[in-house]
Amino acid sequence: MYRTTCGPIAAAVLAMSASAGLAQQQIDFTVAAGQPPRALPSLAKVGDFFVPEVKRLVKEAGLNVDIRWKEAYAGSLLKPMQMLDGVKDGIATIGYVPSVFYPDKLPLEQLSFYVPFVTTDVVLVSTVMAKLHKELPEFAAQYHKFNQVRIAGSGVDSYELLTTFPVKTVEDLKGKKIGTGGVALSWLQGLGATGVQSNMMEYYNSIKSGVYQGTIIMPSTFRAMKYPEAAPYVTKVGFGAQYAVVLSVNKDVFDKLPPQLQKILLDVGARWGIESDKAYMTAGDDGYKSLTDFKATLYELPREEQVRWAKTMPNLAKAWADSMDKRGLPGTKALAMFMDEMRKAGARPIRDWDKE
């Protein structure tokens, strides 16, 4: 899907043009995403909030720039797995980068997935990750390595369990197959369940056809993707909210922008992150409300069962931190900071991953 607001653009370039006798900086901004905005609240907020708010503030500030915007969503310019390199190479100026898809290239960004059962507050998760970015330069360096600057990040609502059978204890999962993606597969370790690598586009049909008997996904997806129709037993396990996506800008372009415009991008980006996180919380609540329409059953796992589940797992966080340390990255330090900030904010982790 393309949305062009001011003429065609070939690529992300900077140029100078004369306008009414004044030297006006002409800037071409191509904003791209591999997914459709309707599916992801944070992506919808790029077009509905980030772009118009930057336009408004640029006009309000009276900056002598002419920004020509092009918005290319739903993989019309770059697919999700092409975003990081696409922004690096200038195919897109600003990219909606699903950091969760880049564990090798953006390893520090994966931290929250290695500390499940900490908090379901997505705003808190993103706030703490922003603090790590501010205080640990290695976080920003991940993006500099790919010729880009992180504008801001956003999370997703808490991952939960959907199955074709009721789950009230950890024993109920023994011998079952659960489809999910990435690090979430490791949340099944020690339970006697088999994790099947899969993705959002496969969950519904794979459950319906019996490839596996459930999935781990966010409630914000329930209504649009109709997962509870295929797996009508929804268990609030409380795996937790996760940090999953960033807006980044090509560094060559960013470095040439007027300082005031750089500040506008970063300030609006920070607000975009908060707006996105709130939208996910709202969408998650709506997902639970949709369960009535799907005639699905909701069960909240008691804390004692959450504790049993968490303690069954190996210490994923410690293993992650050790692997980061071996690569010269501040894994142990980042883990300690993350958990400390969570506890200071009032979170009650089921397991203190950093203290074992």
Report the distance separating Cα 265 and Cα 50, nearest Å: 9
Q: Is residue 121 a part of any domain in this protein?
A: no
Question: Could you tell me if 279 and 292 lie in one domain?
Answer: no
End position of a domain, from candidates 263, 283, 303: 283
Question: Which pLDDT does position 200 carry in this prediction?
Answer: 84
In this prediction, the residues of the chain whose per-residue pLDDT falls under 50 are: 1-21
Question: Which pLDDT does position 93 carry in this prediction?
Answer: 98
Q: Is residue 68 a part of any domain in this protein?
A: yes
Question: Could you tell me if 202 and 332 lie in one domain?
Answer: yes
Question: Which pLDDT does position 101 carry in this prediction?
Answer: 87
- Residue by residue, DSSP assigns 232-271 as -EEEEEEEEEEEEEEEEEEHHHHHHS-HHHHHHHHHHHHH
Reported as a single tens digit per residue, the pLDDT across 233-245 is 999 999 999 999 9
Question: Which pLDDT does position 19 carry in this prediction?
Answer: 39
Question: Could you tell me if 219 and 306 lie in one domain?
Answer: yes
Question: Could you tell me if 230 and 190 lie in one domain?
Answer: yes
Instruction: Give Cα 299 to chain centroid, integer Å.
Output: 26
* 283, containing H or E segment: helix 259-289
Question: Could you tell me if 170 and 300 lie in one domain?
Answer: yes
End position of a domain, from candidates 283, 305, 340: 283
Report the distance separating Cα 91 and Cα 74, nearest Å: 15
Question: Could you tell me if 322 and 296 lie in one domain?
Answer: yes
CB contact at 8 A, 90 and 248:
no
Cα dihedral 11, 13, 19, 22 in deg (nearest 10): 170
| CATH number where 196 lies | 3.40.190.170
CB contact at 8 A, 272 and 46:
yes
pTM here is 0.88
Cα dihedral 270, 272, 278, 279 in deg (nearest 10): -160
Question: Could you tell me if 227 and 337 lie in one domain?
Answer: yes
Question: Which pLDDT does position 182 carry in this prediction?
Answer: 84
Question: Could you tell me if 309 and 265 lie in one domain?
Answer: no
The DSSP code for 47 is I
Which residues, 6 or more positions from 167, have their beta carbon under 8 angstroms from its beta carbon?
A: 161, 173, 233, 235, 299, 301
Question: Could you tell me if 167 and 56 lie in one domain?
Answer: no
Question: Could you tell me if 212 and 314 lie in one domain?
Answer: yes
Question: How many residues in the chain?
Answer: 356
End position of a domain, from candidates 254, 283, 312: 283
* 152, containing H or E segment: strand 148-163
Q: Is residue 139 a part of any domain in this protein?
A: no
Question: Could you tell me if 65 and 175 lie in one domain?
Answer: no
Q: Is residue 195 a part of any domain in this protein?
A: yes
CA atoms within 13 A on the CB side of 261: 21
Residue 252 is part of which domain span?
A: 2-99+147-154+246-283
Report the distance separating Cα 321 and Cα 324, nearest Å: 5
* 15 strand-pairing partners: 26
Question: Which pLDDT does position 10 carry in this prediction?
Answer: 36
Question: Could you tell me if 168 and 310 lie in one domain?
Answer: yes
The DSSP code for 301 is P
Sign for the pseudo-dihedral over CA of 88, 92, 96, 102: negative
CB contact at 8 A, 151 and 94:
yes
Structure tokens at 212: 């596996």
Paired sense of beta strands 148-163 and 233-250, if any:
antiparallel
Q: Is residue 128 a part of any domain in this protein?
A: no
Count of domains forming the chain? 2
Question: Which pLDDT does position 278 carry in this prediction?
Answer: 96
CB contact at 8 A, 150 and 129:
no
Question: Which pLDDT does position 39 carry in this prediction?
Answer: 77
Q: Is residue 126 a part of any domain in this protein?
A: no
Q: Is residue 211 a part of any domain in this protein?
A: yes
CB contact at 8 A, 230 and 208:
yes
Q: Is residue 115 a part of any domain in this protein?
A: no
